[in-house]
Amino acid sequence: MIVVTKANIADTVIDEIVAQIEKAGVEAHVSKGTDRTVIGIIGSASPTLAEHLRQMKGVENVVKISKSYKLASRDFHPDDTIIDIKGVKIGGENLVIMGGPCAVENPEQIDEIARLVKAAGGQVLRGGAFKPRTGPYSFQGVGVEGLKMMAEAGEKHGLLTITEVMTPEYVDICAEYADILQVGTRNMQNFDLLRKLGTIKTPVLLKRGFSSTYDEFLNAAEYILAGGNPNVMLCERGIRTFETYTRNTLDLTAVPVLQSLSHLPVISDPSHGTGRRELVEPMCKASVAAGANGLIVEMHTDPDNSATGDGVQSLFPDQFANLLKDLEKLAPLVGKRFDTEKAPADAFLKWNKF
């Protein structure tokens, strides 16, 4: 922590600042500049010392130097975290593809989509059983029954499953049925939920709050890690800006930034990041080229008639399959490995419609 003084203040004022620092049990190093004085604080200061100093006479600014997260930081964990779930590896040079509908609707729907995700080469089936909605009158998901349908479809087709959990009391039941638990963008700072997720070992995909900085994002991950669960993936899903043509502004630079600040895998979500089907494919490719460790993509067999509001950003099965074919060629160019067992080429015959 560094204290910067206002210009041309008296020495007695500097002495008072130093006294306050030393009272807090840490050391002060004073560097007098031409106009201003800079006071470095050595030692582990209490979190409120900065605030106290900021209010003192003669203080212009207090700059924090150390990051507030530790377990999430690459400084203290130089190697990539690789999460191994039933043999599927997430992180490092592995590229993982998660696909599926916005919401689980019924057993037939999720089974058919699971079949197509697998056939295309995906490794994880996504689907919401509980849906966060801006207004109270929108479809809120099919609930626990949806978890079961999804678990069954995943098992049948050899896919891991991921689903969103919205509240601490549902963490256990979701963890019973799903392989990965997703924290949605509106819950990134739902600290009770994060704390609860720290008490289990099920891997968590933490979505960036739609207006959260990288620092806040990594602090949210720190809540889970500090609780004892080391299996966290970070997911960039678009931020809110002044531009409203797209649903969000996908911040792809977050991929290399987060990978440099942290050892955790970084997943990109172009479906929510753009909100428009025709933009999903180019932004998936861009995500992989930027170095993402994986993608989470919405795909639906009948988006025009889906029960939920996100059809407009869902790929058709053919589009999804073609995208994965392209990614297979793209991945090695950026040092990524896309391992998958795929179904025969005729699996998509009936989806040849766009």
For 33-123, strand residue ranges (E) read: 37-42, 59-63, 83-85, 88-90, 96-100
CB 287 to a copy of itself: min, Å: 7
Cα 34 to Cα 7, 8, 63, 78, 304, distances in angstroms = 9, 8, 19, 39, 68
- Our CA angle for 330, 92, 126, nearest 5°, is 75
Give CA–CA dist 178/150, Å, rounded: 8
Mark out the alpha helices in the chain (DSSP H runs).
Answer: 11-23, 49-54, 107-120, 144-157, 171-177, 191-197, 214-227, 254-261, 270-274, 277-289, 317-333
Residue 157 vs 247, nearer CB to a copy of itself = 247
Residue 11 vs 243, nearer CB to a copy of itself = 243
CB 184 to a copy of itself: min, Å: 9
Residue 46 vs 155, nearer CB to a copy of itself = 46
Q: How many CB atoms lie within 10 A of CB 291?
A: 16
Residue 312 vs 347, nearer CB to a copy of itself = 312
CA torsion angle 111 112 118 122 (round to 10) = -90
Give CA–CA dist 329/322, Å, rounded: 11
Torsions phi, psi for 89 (to 5 deg): -100, 130
Residue 276 vs 342, nearer CB to a copy of itself = 276
CB 179 to a copy of itself: min, Å: 23
Residue 118 vs 293, nearer CB to a copy of itself = 293
Residues with Cβ < 8 Å from 150, sequence gap 6 or more? 104, 110, 125, 127, 129, 161, 163, 177, 178
Radius of gyration of the chain (CA): 24
CB 223 to a copy of itself: min, Å: 5
Which residue type is seen at 96? Answer: V
CB 114 to a copy of itself: min, Å: 22
CB 224 to a copy of itself: min, Å: 9
Q: Which residue has the tokens 């203080």?
A: 59
CB 109 to a copy of itself: min, Å: 14
Give CA–CA dist 110/104, Å, rounded: 6
Residue 157 vs 196, nearer CB to a copy of itself = 196
CB 154 to a copy of itself: min, Å: 25
Residue 252 vs 299, nearer CB to a copy of itself = 252
Give CA–CA dist 109/316, Å, rounded: 13
Residue 87 vs 244, nearer CB to a copy of itself = 244
CB 221 to a copy of itself: min, Å: 10
